[in-house]
């Protein structure tokens, strides 16, 4: 499609909660082609967005009222910016001109946003890792008690009969700590001991 004159393509998204399509369309103004999405409730399907992304060509500009109309999250927005940049398509936000991809300020702002999103992801990963480490240290991360109440009963009888705990634990395929917790009704074995 050589000699393609860049088009201005508008995108509006209205959720059931805020039926303000007129305001969005007014903000977007005159465009060559408009894609308008009506999203209901929890649906994450955005067929008009997909159609628009397939429609735009190099040299086109997508005009949206604000970033939150186009993307659901910072990561989502950055992914879209990257994809459009690779296609040679510009993004213009009427309410947030500082994020327009064709301006040096826009590129700078998006770089900062990307850094913030990356930091956020790293922080979440670190927090998850810390949470798991703390849970493991507290013995909460294993999935439920390893031994059934029948096994605990059997272990109790064997220990009472003088069988070394280490051997009982080995036969049950658990650690001595687990056996000890089970016999004393500690931690996650408390409900079983009470049963």
Known catalytic residues?
Answer: 15
Tell me how crowded residue 65 is: count the other CB atoms within 10 A of its CB.
Answer: 22
Closest by CA to 62, choosing from 38, 92, 83, 42, is 92
150-158 own/partner pairs: CB under 8 Å, 24+ apart: 151/182, 152/182, 152/183, 152/189, 152/192, 152/193, 155/179, 155/182, 155/183, 156/183
């Amino acid at each position: 499609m050589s000699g393609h004159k860049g088009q201005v393509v508008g995108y509006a998204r209205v959720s059931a909660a805020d039926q303000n399509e007129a305001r969005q369309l007014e903000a977007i103004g005159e465009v060559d082609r408009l894609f308008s999405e009506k999203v209901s409730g929890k649906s994450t399907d955005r067929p008009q967005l997909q159609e628009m992304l397939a429609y735009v060509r190099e040299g086109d500009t997508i005009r949206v009222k604000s970033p939150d109309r186009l993307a659901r999250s910072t990561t989502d927005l950055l992914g879209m910016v990257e994809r459009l940049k690779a296609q040679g398509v510009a993004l213009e936000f009427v309410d947030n001109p500082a994020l327009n991809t064709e301006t040096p300020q826009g590129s700078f702002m998006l770089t900062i946003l990307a850094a913030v999103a990356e930091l956020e992801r790293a922080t979440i990963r670190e927090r998850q890792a810390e949470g798991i480490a703390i849970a493991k240290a507290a013995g909460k991360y294993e999935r439920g008690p390893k031994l059934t109440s029948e096994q605990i009963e059997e272990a109790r009888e064997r220990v009472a009969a003088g069988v070394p705990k280490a051997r009982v634990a080995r036969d049950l395929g658990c650690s001595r700590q687990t056996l000890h917790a089970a016999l004393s009704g500690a931690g996650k074995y408390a409900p079983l001991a009470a049963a």
